[in-house]
Amino acid sequence: MPETVQSYPEIDAGDTAWTMMCATLVFLMVPALGLFYAGLARAKNALSLMYVTMLCVGVVSFQWYLIGYSLTFSASANFFIGDSANFLMRGVGMAPAFEGQTIPAMVYMIFQAMFAALTPALAFGAGAERMSLGPAILFIFVWTTLVYDFVTCWVWNPNGWLYKMGAMDYAGGATVHASSGLAAVAYAMVLGKRRTTDANVNQPHNVSFIYLGLTFLWFGWFAFNAGSGLAADARAANSFVATHLAACVGAVVWVILDYIHTRKWSVVGLCTGVVAGLATITPGSGFVSPSSALLFGLLGSIACNYAIRYKHKYGFDDALDVFTVHYVGGIVGLLLTGIFAERYIISLGAPAGTLMSDVQIGGWLDGHWMQVPIQLAMIASVSGWSFVVTYLILIIINCFPYLRLRLADHDEHIGTDWAQMGERAYGYIQWEEAMLQRAQNEHMDQQSIAEANNRRKQFIRGLKKFLMIDNRHVVTGVPTLVEEPVLDYGQQKEHMATGGIHMGKLKNATGNNVVTTPLERAKTSDTSIVQIENAGQSGSGTTSSSDSSVERRDSSIEELPNDDSNGTAVQSSSSSTSDNAKQKNRA
């Protein structure tokens, strides 16, 4: 009897086409994430983030074909991890992978591969602007094997211990967002904080990239959530609507919160709010109603917004807010799923004729009070495993000299793109760097010339002192002379200044010092001479002539302060000045 083509009556062509299309759209989220991250970072690191996100697709897809799919979704897996039954995709063909599915196992494999590729790409956002690109390939492969494959087997494999417990995670709140969020924290802690004094280190360099990246992320997220039911049915439609509503509410709430704090309407805030709403609704999109999804978007956006405002207190540098948006949003969504999940929504994906009692019970709305503790157990186990194992992987990789995770200081200063890739996202960056270097060189040259001039002046001054040819002459005890004003009739006399010598009045000397040069002293021979006499003996009431006189020209001398307060009283010898003063007093 001739061999006939084997048929699989349980395969549904519509579900298969729907799932394949969703896999394609989830793949689109990876370059969209690269564009989103590149816009958030500084211009000199933009290409490196595009590189690592797309690199995840290549490395994870190979790992998924080699052993990843078998470790995660083999039908003979135990409660903790799968085996090698599907090593190199053995036995992965046209038959459904698990009972109740209506798509070929190969379609299921490639759909899940896109989820696996996106998850480590999210984690790289925390290490932006200071991570070395060399260890990325090894880290992606090892992390996917030891972290993602394990936690996904627990949650989504029918043999996994969290799946059997009844944990609810429709599209990846724990497997994708929680695992990548804690991996990002470990990555940031091992790398350390960015070495920069730039005040604009957290300012996005290209908001247009963020906007475009968010647009494609939102577009792909419909397939990310609605496609997780693996069927084009009413439950997928419910997931689609819930996803959209949560994203919209998250965006509006975020921009309002930003405006309250900054009085600005921010495009970056709008895009971040959308991502927060999407991350929050991801685990519950196939379990909750669209009305409940509004609350998911509201609470998720508020929680993530305030998590970002206090991120400076965390002690690690999460460059692109992976922890504060994806992890915080993911765990909020997991907890809310435990409260608002409904059996009615779950039954939308059940085959016709299924008894309602055979459908999985929901959360607190259905009176299932243990669902939230189950969700907490899932959050704790996935978070703990992801953080600890990721931290150990990074520490071990960093021990090898040629696999250092952190960029050198010089490479970090010039940017990952040029230091490790030899490429730039923008041509003008090279011109700006050249102009900056030129300005720095000119400034250094000016400083060098000024320092050389100062050293030459100091040398000449020291040489003059050594040879005793300093021609400066200091006269001490010279008072300041102040001329009295001509007063109108009946105007009260007041001193113009304290501490000065008023012509015709006896005052104590101020003790100022006057520095003159021989040239200046020679010029004073043709000018008027002011004689300053010492005061008479104390109690005598008369004055005597000073033993010396000082020639002074107001325009050629420099007064130096002197703290000596023991000067003697002086009186002007100009008799004409005294006579004029007396005549004014009589008037």
For the segment 143-200, what is each residue's pLDDT rounded down to a tens digit? 999 999 999 999 999 999 999 999 999 999 999 999 999 999 999 999 999 887 565 6
Q: Is residue 490 part of a domain?
A: no
Residues 18 and 45 both lie in one domain = yes
Overall number of domains in the chain: 2
Residues 455 and 358 both lie in one domain = no
Is the predicted pLDDT of residue 366 greater than 60, yes or no? yes
Residues 396 and 256 both lie in one domain = yes
pLDDT in the model for residue 561:
42
Rounded-to-integer distance, Cα 300 and Cα 303, Å: 5
Rounded-to-integer distance, Cα 519 and Cα 524, Å: 9
For the segment 441-462, what is each residue's pLDDT rounded down to a tens digit? 777 767 778 888 888 787 777 7
Distances (CA, A) of 535 to 477, 509, 549, 581: 13, 10, 13, 20
Rounded-to-integer distance, Cα 16 and Cα 104, Å: 7
Residues 362 and 452 both lie in one domain = no
Q: Domain residues for 391? A: 13-426
Residues 327 and 438 both lie in one domain = no
Each residue of 520-548: b (16+ CB within 10 Å) or e? Answer: bbeebeeeeebbbbbbbeeeeeebeebee
pLDDT in the model for residue 548:
39
**End-of-domain residue from the set 398, 426, 454:** 426
pLDDT in the model for residue 461:
74
For the segment 472-485, what is each residue's pLDDT rounded down to a tens digit? 555 555 555 555 55
Is the predicted pLDDT of residue 131 greater than 60, yes or no? yes
**End-of-domain residue from the set 408, 426, 444:** 426
Q: Is residue 236 part of a domain?
A: yes
Rounded-to-integer distance, Cα 97 and Cα 93, Å: 9
**End-of-domain residue from the set 399, 426, 453:** 426
Residues 391 and 457 both lie in one domain = no
Output the CA angle 300-306-312, nearest 5 degrees.
135
Question: Of 209-218, 338-347, 424-433, 572-581, which gets the smallest average pLDDT?
Answer: 572-581
Closest CA to 126 of 375, 386, 382, 376: 386
Q: By the 8 A CB rule, do 503 and 484 touch?
A: yes
For the segment 5-14, what is each residue's pLDDT rounded down to a tens digit? 777 778 999 9
Q: Is residue 564 part of a domain?
A: no
Rounded-to-integer distance, Cα 548 and Cα 530, Å: 11
Closest CA to 29 of 157, 169, 177, 128: 177
Residues 441 and 345 both lie in one domain = no
Q: Is residue 446 part of a domain?
A: yes
Is the predicted pLDDT of residue 213 greater than 80, yes or no? yes
Residues 351 and 442 both lie in one domain = no
What are the tokens at 67? 């052993």
What SS3 state is found at 477? Answer: strand
For 320-326, what is the mean pLDDT?
Answer: 95
Q: Is residue 492 part of a domain?
A: no
Q: Is residue 507 part of a domain?
A: no
Residues 204 and 347 both lie in one domain = yes
Residues 305 and 390 both lie in one domain = yes
User: What CATH number is associated with residue 413?
Assistant: 1.10.3430.10
Distances (CA, A) of 351 to 17, 208, 233, 512: 19, 45, 10, 107
What are the tokens at 226? 């609605």
Mean pLDDT for the chain overall: 83
